Structure 1
């Protein structure tokens, strides 16, 4: 993947610094951070992304309290 809709103006190194890193069997796997995930899903504006945003926001709000 060479670009992500909605994040084209962000340098890769900035996205990498914000990434969540999960260790899977000794291999670091990088995942886009929550805020940039939401930005990219809003920019894509597909129905499935809209549904994802709704669920992600519900889950994120549950984790705050």
Structure 2
């Protein structure tokens, strides 16, 4: 009987740990998506304000780097 309860307890702990991992991974993916959206917004804003493609690109990369670090 102890083995059955031990197996159930280990299964429950494994499931709970795997759900935390998935949640953490999802948070990381969401943060990277937010940073990518910021990068696109900065690029579009620079272009709409008359900046060159190179200036817009540099600003977008800087925004992304600042966001993910």
User: TM-score surpassing 0.5?
Assistant: no
TM-score (norm. length: structure 2): 0.29
- Name whichever structure is richer in helix by fraction: 2
- Name whichever structure is richer in strand by fraction: 1
